[in-house]
Structure 1
Amino acid sequence: MNSANPDQPRIVIASRESRLAMWQAEHIRGRLLELYPQLEVDILGMTTRGDQILDRPLSEIGGKGLFIKELEVAMQSGRADLAVHSMKDLPMELPEGFVLAAVSERANPCDAFVSNHYVALDDLPAGAVIGTSSLRREATLRARYPQLAIKGLRGNLDTRLRKLDAGEYDAIILAAAGLVRLGLADRIKSVLAPEQSLPAPGQGVLGIEVPSGRADLIALVEPLNDLATAHCVRAERAFSRALGGSCQLPLAAYAVLESGQLRLRGFVATADGRRSVAGERRGVPDEAESVGYRLAQTLRADGADVILRELAAGQ
């Protein structure tokens, strides 16, 4: 651990500087201090390329990995020991030298409908402008509400809300968990059930990334790992990985534990939402990755391969 004084252990958490990212880092800091009162825990706030480039969709500029590269460099250089991420922003393949050491208990995994004038998606009139940064959400909206105008929405959570309040959008779709974490639950007009908008892999979950060679850190954060959530996230991420999942792909995956079984639902779609292939698979939690892989293979056999080829050709 980063420590000039071996009698006073100290670790540094790398985090993006957005208000939500800092909340997440502070939350993990608090959990660590509960477990280890003698520990000194500092937070290194950083601005990433993903935070700087706001005039283009993420799918055009390199994906969600842009939000974590600088944090990984800080860990590699010894300026930080671990990084806290929103799991839905963590690429499906971590770079060599890093591991996902723990995931938090899942908060609300659902999408939230936010508007100053309307209560629900069904209330929006034809031509209403709705904002999202997610190809997954865009495909879902275009499939179910073709009469709406979908407009890209970048920036941190506060920036997105400001754009809504400035009248640039009639409504926006955000992750419910982020709004609740920042005390903004009153901005949620309605929550979209998974049947309305299937969540992204890892949505509502925090992940702790550490250098793979740091057995001391892996052991330190192990008590923060929520086993039930970890099973679900492994299935979701295995499904996404098997389909080449990235933010360039309209893909959803959501797993729950029901009566001792893991139930995974997933879909892949064209960006315009006109075609999609969906399915579900059940299995035992200890074989979560196999459940995800098998569902991906089922969807490929049902036509997802055609969609994936078209999406790849269009990039």
Structure 2
Amino acid sequence: MTSLSLTIATRESQLALWQARHVQQLLQNLGHQASLLGMTTRGDQILDRTLSKVGGKGLFVKELETALETGAADLAVHSLKDVPMELPEGFALAAVLEREDPRDAWVSNRYARLDDVPQGAVVGTSSLRRQVLLKALRPDLDIQPLRGNVNTRLRKLDDGQYDGIVLAAAGLKRLDMHDRIRHEFDTDTMLPAAGQGALGIEIRADRQDLMALFASMADARSWRAVTAERAVSRCMGGSCSMPLAAHGQWQGDTLHLRAAWGDELQPDAPLVRTAASAQVTDLASADALGQQVAQLLQAAGAKQR
């Protein structure tokens, strides 16, 4: 393939820039040139309210998609858990890269594990998913909102505003902040969000040249797993305003997909949990498994939006 000169649209947080530079290096390894176009999104600007109250996860990607649409950039790199389940018309997911650790991480300067935290302790997260899962584990906790990039959240913890916070393990590891992780929750305890730990590359749907290029960078098993997870969320009408978890784990060629749903109007109500397994050999069969799990959730009492 002829060497290309590409522009990567990215948010300007430390983690987003790491992700964009990671893709930049992968492109350079293939003999292509890539530069970064740093952008500030509305999701980065609005920090005094939870995402569920100001427009959802799409606030992190709209400006980047505008750059793709106008030709200012050729591709955008996203944390997949921040990407809406339905891309706007004219855009496509060109690749999902090999997944990092999908688990949630417990971060605290005082307590080694969630079990060590006293009654009434203040724990920070703005994720409705994490809120309902934490409440299921420890209904005595005082769960308080926590917005901002990774460094901002850690600073608020260090300033004493929280006894502990919950962050994605992948982000801390990518930023070489392994030492801040006191404990990694197993997925039975804290089921991850759809796409957590995975990076996705978004392009304009008419850029077939880039579709072919990124096919060589994609990790097939990661892509199939997150496709199944995102199908659960899509079928449930999921967004950051719905407490929903979905996570797929491989057992040979079989994908075991688990999901959990909570009622945002009754956060103390029991979680609805379900799971299914299937031979997953392509994106279509992954999507079908996700739809099956969504149907099982609804049959068990989960409400579709």
Q: TM-score range by the shorter chain?
A: over 0.9
Distance 1:255 1:160 in 2: 28
SS of 2:78's equivalent in the other structure is strand
What residue number does 2:270 align with? 275
What TM-score do you get using the length of structure 2 for normalisation? 0.96
* Equivalent position amino acid for 1:210 in 2: I
What residue number does 1:261 align with? 254
Q: Report the alpha carbon displacement of residue 104 of structure 1 after superposing the two structures with TM.
A: 0.8
SS of 2:162's equivalent in the other structure is coil
What residue number does 1:20 align with? 15
> Which of 288, 299, 302 is the aligned partner of 1:301?
299
What TM-score do you get using the length of structure 1 for normalisation? 0.93
Distance 2:199 2:256 in 1: 21
Q: Report the alpha carbon displacement of residue 259 of structure 1 after superposing the two structures with TM.
A: 2.2
What residue number does 1:145 align with? 138
Q: Which moved more, 1:266-275 or 1:119-128?
A: 266-275
Q: Does 1:53 align with 2:51?
A: no
- 1:84·1:209 contact (CA, 8 Å) conserved in 2? yes
Residue by residue, what CA displacement relative to the aligned partner does 1:194-228 show, whole Å, maximum 9, x if unpaired? 01100000000000000000001111111111001
For residues 45-194 of structure 1, the aligned pairs below 5 Å read 45-194=38-187
| Number of aligned residues | 299
Distance 1:152 1:191 in 2: 21
- 2:109·2:158 contact (CA, 8 Å) conserved in 1? yes
Distance 1:69 1:195 in 2: 33
> Which of 1, 25, 29 is the aligned partner of 2:24?
29
Q: Report the alpha carbon displacement of residue 8 of structure 1 after superposing the two structures with TM.
A: 6.3
Distance 1:9 1:243 in 2: 40
User: For structure 2, which runs of at least 5 residues remain unmatched after alignment?
Assistant: none
What residue number does 1:3 align with? none
Cα RMSD of the aligned pairs, angstroms, is: 1.0
SS of 2:256's equivalent in the other structure is strand
> Which of 212, 222, 242 is the aligned partner of 1:219?
212
Distance 2:155 2:4 in 1: 41
- 1:54·1:155 contact (CA, 8 Å) conserved in 2? yes
Distance 1:300 1:109 in 2: 25
- 1:164·1:171 contact (CA, 8 Å) conserved in 2? yes
What residue number does 1:203 align with? 196
Distance 1:273 1:290 in 2: 31
User: For structure 1, which runs of at least 5 residues remain unmatched after alignment?
Assistant: 1-6
SS of 2:261's equivalent in the other structure is strand
Question: Structure 1 pair 209/44, CA: closer, same or farther in 2 (3 Å)?
Answer: same
Distance 1:210 1:9 in 2: 15
SS of 2:119's equivalent in the other structure is coil
Q: Which moved more, 1:202-211 or 1:286-295?
A: 286-295
- 1:140·1:273 contact (CA, 8 Å) conserved in 2? no
- 1:142·1:274 contact (CA, 8 Å) conserved in 2? no
What residue number does 1:4 align with? none
- 1:141·1:273 contact (CA, 8 Å) conserved in 2? no
SS of 1:66's equivalent in the other structure is helix
Residue by residue, what CA displacement relative to the aligned partner does 1:111-145 show, whole Å, maximum 9, x if unpaired? 00000000000000011100002000001111211
Distance 1:71 1:225 in 2: 21
